[in-house]
Amino acid sequence: MNSRRVDRIATAIFWAGALAVIFFLGTIVCYILYHGGKYIDWAFLTKPSQVISAGGGIGPQIFNTFYLLLLSMSITIPVGLLAGVYLSEYAGANKFTEAIKLSIETLNSLPSIVVGLFGLLVFVNMTGWGYSLLSGALALTVLNLPFMVRITEESIRGVPAGLREASLALGANRWQTICKVVLPAAFPGLISGIIITCGRVFEEAAALLFTAGMSSPPMDFSQWNIFNETSPLNPFRPAETLSVHIWKINTEGLIPDLRRVADGSAAVLILFVLSFNLTARWLGRRIHRKMTAT
Amino acid sequence: MKKSFAKGVFRPNSELLGRFLTMGAAILAIISVVTIVSFITVKGLSTFIINGVSVKEFLFSTQWWPDRLPEDGGPQVGVLVFIFGSVVIAMLAVLLSAPLSIICAVFMAEIAPSWGQRFLQPAIELLAGIPSVVYGYIGLSLLVPFIRDNIGGMGFSILAGFLVLSIMILPTIVSVLTDSLRSLPREYKEAALALGSTRWQSIYHVLIPAARSGLITGIVLGLARAFGEALAVQMVIGNMRKMPTSIMDPVITLTSAITMDMGNTPMGSLWNNALWSMGLFTLMMSCFFILVLRFVVRKGGVVR
């Protein structure tokens, strides 16, 4: 067989493989959206879920997911941002920097179930909070921190050195330079990175099983005292997110309309993830165009 | 003097404040790793220290009877079946996923015209964004019945488990490998082509060997992810605590045992402690993968 023919066969295989992956992805997404889409209506999205009878919705789960997102990102963003700034602006080539990098790498490859176990041990049992939103948010922070740090580092690396030097030459100190010049210049990368990190919160389930819990006690949306047990905003109440809900109803299998709720929830979850990803791309491009004026 | 110093530090423009804040955040990362590792280690060792199970019996025995009474042979916690399940599923997933990932990565970096690339790249990123429970649910509602009807067995099987996992780890391997292929100097490819090699020859003999450390990194990361994945696998493998004899048999993994039983067993019991030891084992495996990566990357001389 001559090499030209081998080349042609190899090219065909590469095309076939790539197309197969795209086809496969398309099938998965369409399958979920098609099967789940027909169950999505306003009642499904707002009604409370049922434990053993049919007709439940996913209202509390959606609320919990977004509230958990808010709680966890309000810790992840500042800490991740600062740590990323340290690594890209201050860190020298020494043992300490090496230790930080190794830690971030380790955090990044920790299985989420291990983070969940750690959360169970420390945030749930040792602090006495029990299964709570706050424990879940902290576990999620541990999982998302390395991602946030990497995004910050990457966005800052894209800032031209000239900007930084000009600021320093004008007499600004490094912290001023970071706050007033470097971070604003890195903003497009940061904002799309943050949205992608938010999208990762929807995916997580294993770390939340034993930290935020698998139950959603009744909530009273007129109760705004955050220390009241029925208040939706109370960070110390157990809260089941959408992805945990999908897992739970499938493994327990107590509700008769399992397929309806699971299909619908999966479709809603995919829609959230899709919209976050697309928003991140769109916003990143838009801000970039605005700032670079091209 | 002291007061004015404090005032100076807390001025929002202060250089010292910036240093403290950023360094504090970085130290927090170190602290969290250290606490995670030490807490899980201490808790995971209690099977051996408090319950007196020998490490050898724990790792190499297939006898898992944590609730059996002492007169029937005593509670036994050998987790070889679980380790075997985890290892087999992760390895098979990587074996299927790695070639497919290489194809996708090479396609994106070398072959695809710009429209193909513009299509495949977001598709792969999207694949990475689909929640693992959704994969598990698709496996449960589509793949398991398909296997049961067309191939035989219960459907809940090693086969279903590793198929689901291989889709899940594909984006990880592809993105690492694509990055490393793209970071290769253009001259490598141009020299190969100028010497008269076809595109396939330049890919096979020059580009893939040159991107070898990226390939290994991607595969190890994929393996680590496959090993640590819990819920998606738990939903499709049937969770039978028995040594499987074929890939059509149900099986159980370390992570799925932890997810299923952690909430149902009382804290401090032998069963519960054994689950924590399994968690420790999973943690040690992921540390091992990180060490492999550092070794490979340093030895390969290519910075990721």
Q: Which domain holds residue B12?
A: 1-44
Within this chain, do residues B23 and B90 fall inside the same structural domain, yes or no? no
Within this chain, do residues B260 and B149 fall inside the same structural domain, yes or no? yes
Number of domain units in chain A: 2
Within this chain, do residues A122 and A168 fall inside the same structural domain, yes or no? yes
Residue with tokens 């001023």: A176
DSSP string, chain B: -HHHHHHHHHSTT-HHHHHHHHHHHHHHHHHHHHHHHHHHHHHHTHHHHTS---HHHHHH---EETT--GGGT--EE--HHHHHHHHHHHHHHHHHHHHHHHHHHHIIIII--HHHHHHHHHHHHHHHHS-HHHHHHHIIIIIHHHHHHHT-S-S-SHHHHHHHHHHHHHHHHHHHHHHHHHTS-HHHHHHHHHTT--HHHHIIIIIHHHTHHHHHHHHHHHHHHHHH--HHHHHHSB---S--SSTTS-B--HHHHHHHHTTTS-TTSHHHHHHHHHHHHHHHHHHHHHHHHHHHHHHHT---
Within this chain, do residues B81 and B9 fall inside the same structural domain, yes or no? no
Whether residue B303 has pLDDT greater than 80: no
Within this chain, do residues A102 and A239 fall inside the same structural domain, yes or no? yes
Chain B residue with CA closest to A261: the answer is B137
Whether residue B301 has pLDDT greater than 70: no
Whether residue B1 has pLDDT greater than 50: no
Contacts of A115 in chain B (CB under 8 A): 36
B291 shares contact with chain A (CB less than 8 Å): no
Question: Is B57 inside a domain boundary?
Answer: no
Of the candidates A28, A113, A121, the beta carbon closest to that of B255 is on A113
Q: Tens digit of pLDDT for each residue in A174-210?
A: 888 888 888 888 887 888 788 888 888 888 888 888 8
Within this chain, do residues B119 and B208 fall inside the same structural domain, yes or no? yes
Within this chain, do residues A19 and A106 fall inside the same structural domain, yes or no? no
DSSP string, A116-157: HHHHIIIIIIIS---S-HHHHHHHHHHHHHHHHHHHHHHHHH
Neighbours of A281 (CB within 10 A): 15
Within this chain, do residues B114 and B20 fall inside the same structural domain, yes or no? no
Q: Do B255 and A281 touch (CB under 8 A)?
A: no
Q: Do B201 and A145 touch (CB under 8 A)?
A: no
Q: Do A80 and B258 touch (CB under 8 A)?
A: no
Question: Is B146 inside a domain boundary?
Answer: yes
Size of interface A-B (CB pairs under 8 A): 249
B125 shares contact with chain A (CB less than 8 Å): yes
Q: What is the CATH number of the domain that holds B151?
A: 1.10.3720.10
Q: Do B129 and A203 touch (CB under 8 A)?
A: yes
Question: Is B158 inside a domain boundary?
Answer: yes
Residue with tokens 């810790």: A75
Within this chain, do residues B248 and B128 fall inside the same structural domain, yes or no? yes
B234 shares contact with chain A (CB less than 8 Å): yes
Within this chain, do residues B148 and B30 fall inside the same structural domain, yes or no? no
B252 shares contact with chain A (CB less than 8 Å): no
Which of the residues A14, A170, A260 would you substitute to probe the B interface, choosing the one with the greatest number of B C-beta atoms within 10 Å?
A14
Within this chain, do residues A118 and A133 fall inside the same structural domain, yes or no? yes
Question: Is B222 inside a domain boundary?
Answer: yes
Q: Tens digit of pLDDT for each residue in A2-18?
A: 888 888 888 888 888 88
Question: Is B30 inside a domain boundary?
Answer: yes
Asked if B252 contacts B239 with a C-beta cutoff of 8 angstroms, the reply is yes
Name the pTM for this structure: 0.86
Within this chain, do residues B126 and B225 fall inside the same structural domain, yes or no? yes
How large is the ipTM?
0.86
Within this chain, do residues B110 and B238 fall inside the same structural domain, yes or no? yes
Q: Tens digit of pLDDT for each residue in A215-226?
A: 777 777 766 776
Q: Name the burial class of residue B181, with classes exposed (0-12), middle (13-18) and buried (19+) by CB atoms within 10 angstroms of its CB.
A: buried
Q: Which residues contact B132 (CB under 8 A, 6 or more apart)?
A: A203, A205, A206, A243, B168, B229, B231, B232
Number of domain units in chain B: 2
Within this chain, do residues B240 and B155 fall inside the same structural domain, yes or no? yes
With bands split at pLDDT 50, 70 and 90, how would you rate the model's confidence at B237?
A: confident
Q: How far is it, in rounded angstroms, from Cα B80 to Cα B83?
A: 5
Closest CA to A100 of B31, B156, B98, B274: B31
Q: Do B263 and A277 touch (CB under 8 A)?
A: no
Torsion angle of alpha carbons A59, A64, A65, A67, nearest 10°?
Answer: 130
pLDDT at B292: 86
Of the candidates A80, A173, A203, the beta carbon closest to that of B131 is on A203
pLDDT at A294: 56
Q: Which domain holds residue A17?
A: 1-37
Residues 206-225 of chain B with CB under 8 A from chain A are 221, 224-225
CA dist A198 to A115, A274, A284, Å? 18, 12, 15
Q: Tens digit of pLDDT for each residue in B18-75?
A: 888 888 888 998 999 999 999 999 988 888 888 777 888 888 877 788 777 777 767 7
Question: Is B108 inside a domain boundary?
Answer: yes
Within this chain, do residues A116 and A191 fall inside the same structural domain, yes or no? yes
Within this chain, do residues B104 and B246 fall inside the same structural domain, yes or no? yes
Chain B residue with CA closest to A277: the answer is B126
